[in-house]
Chains A and B, each alone.
Chain A
Amino acid sequence: MATLELTIDEDVVAGPVARKRRLGPLFWAAIVWMIFVFAAAALASVLPLPSPTDMDMLERRAPASMLHWLGTDGLGRDELARLIFGARISLTVGVCAPVIGITIGGALGMLAGYFRGRFEQIVVGSMDVLLAFPPLILALAVTAYLGQSILNLTCILGVLGIPTFMRVARAATLTLTRREFVIAAQALGATHARILLRELLPNVLLPLLAFFLLGVAVFIVVEGALSFLGLGVPPPISSWGSMIGEGRESLDVAPRLAFLPAIAMFLTVLSFNLVGDTLRALTDPRQGAL
């Protein structure tokens, strides 16, 4: 990271960068919320919660009570339990999909940016083809053929994320490869593998991680959209998207059934966006002046 900053003209961006260095209370609030959601999702099966799939037809759309802290949904299932188990699905897909993207896209981008030539042309060209599909359309079409499951959903979204990560990794590698420390390593006779892994990777990783967090936000939304349409995770598994979709049916009588998962999703997406954007501003010197 320190190496990336050497290129900044001190006078132009000293002010904004210094300002952004101080991570505000919002940033920390976002971190706290992320930890809270992750902990709840991870401990879902340990927490003393009612089952998220047990129906109680006598207690449909019941208001909050001691037994059901946030009431019950249209089928008498505990809303809080569904929210927390839903967080599991949303976070699993939201985090695993960009992991696929960052691994494959990051590797391809670094190789393309380092070796250039024909290989780079092929990689960039094939990414253009992937980008030629509006992402949601491709995700919908492929889930329709592969069938709905969490694994399929994660893989498809992961593939969709590859081009973005490839671009970020390639752009970072392109500039870094011309830097003195890489040339020095080459002059010392370091192998390509060593330069890529020991010299370039640590420097490319930080901008990639910032995009990773923004990617999590995007993929939580895409998973939500697919589940909302009834084309994401199959019922009775709850995901925030499917809960909002189910809650839509009873907007007039029990709007909270749609709004509770909606708020949870909004806060989570906002947190990832906030943290990701802050990190991106820190790692991308060109953005510093804006």
Chain B
Amino acid sequence: MLGFIARRLLYLLPVLVAVSLLTFLIASLLPGDLAYVILGDQATPEKVEALRHDMGLDQPIWWRYIGWLGHVLEGDFGRSFRTGQTVLQAVSERLPVSLELMFLAEILGLAIGVPLAIACAVRSGSAFDRFMTGSAFGMLSVPTFLSAILLIYLFAVQLHWLPATGYVPFEEDPVGNLRFFVLPALTLALAEWPGIMRVLRSDMIATLQEDYIALAKAKGLTSSRILFVHALKPSSLTLITITGINIGRLIGGAVIVETIFALPGIGRLLVSAIGTRDLVILQGVVLVVAGGFVLMNFIVDMLYAVLDPRIRHGHA
């Protein structure tokens, strides 16, 4: 097990370095010099030159990368030249909102997807199964921003049940906080459940044909116990796989959903940084998100190895 972790860590390192390099290059090589952006209309060649020198922009690119990476490793991701806030401050303020959103969305997605998958697997081939499989396929074609609009129209504009936009911190008003999160999380969950259901359903259909399920039936166990305990257990690996694959889409979805529902999360920080051309924040957020994404994938890989010994000892 330790050897496996060490091998994966060795692989993780170059990927992280490459991610940081790419993030840095996007910000540095593409047109639009930071000095021009900061100076705006008042840019004269002399001022630009002076600022470039102050910021070290006249140094060779690899030297700037090493310097930047050194700062990043010390936890200094830079400071917004618009608000004066450090990237770390801005991110740590907003990260909890995004994490809460993604957590609630995944829980909701599982809450919809898992029971449906089981119901479909038990009666595979029935009208219900075909209807749900078809609906899941249709839902895969509904973009997040589309279901967001639909939910806002239904629950906020027509029924006035829930607020369309806004946010209060959980510490101040837990119920109000959750009320603001219902629609955004549901929006993301609507994109999550079809994938969960489709994969889990086909997994379950295979599992239900195993001998030990027949044995459990013969022992006289209740069908709910057989389904939720015996049949769901071997599918836990599948569920983790889907969750792992979903993370990237969840992050992307969170950007859109946070913007639509005005939740002050990482995604909204990113979009507003793009709007104000706040390149330092943008670079920092991209690095944090991509780094976090790589680490999450690493953790998912580790979970695999814990759950499935074949991966640990196999060809990996």
Interface on A for B, CB 8 Å cutoff?
125-126, 128-129, 132-138, 140-147, 217, 221, 224-225, 228-229, 231, 241, 244-245, 247-248, 251-252, 255, 258-259, 262, 265-266, 269-270, 273-274, 277, 290
Contact = CB atoms under 8 A, between A and B. Distances in A.
Contact of A225 (B19, B256, B286): B256
B224 to A, nearest CB: 26
By secondary structure, the B interface counts as helix
A134 B290 contact: yes
Interface residues of B, number: 47
B286 A137 contact: yes
Max chain B CB contacts within 10 Å: which of A141, A244, A251? A141
Max chain A CB contacts within 10 Å: which of B138, B149, B153, B256? B149
Given A248-B149, A265-B143, A145 B32 contact: yes
A244 B293 contact: no
B234 interface: no
A133 B141 CA distance: 23
A134 B251 contact: yes
A32 to B, nearest CB: 17
Contacts of B84: none
A136 B251 contact: yes
Contacts of B274: 140-141, 143-144, 231
B146 interface: yes
B22 interface: yes
Nearest to B273: A144
Interface string B45-77: 000000000000000000000000000000000
A145 B290 contact: no
Contact of A136 (B32, B153, B252): B252
B243 interface: no
Given A244-B145, A270-B141, A145 B19 contact: no
A146 B138 CA distance: 34
A262 B137 contact: no
Contacts of B187: none
B141 A273 contact: yes
Contacts of A245: 145
Given A134-B293, A241-B145, A244-B145, A142 B30 contact: yes
B26 interface: yes
A138 B270 CA distance: 11
B146 A262 contact: yes
Nearest to B29: A145
B293 A262 contact: no
B305 interface: no
Contacts of A228: 145, 256
A266 B202 contact: no
A137 B270 contact: yes
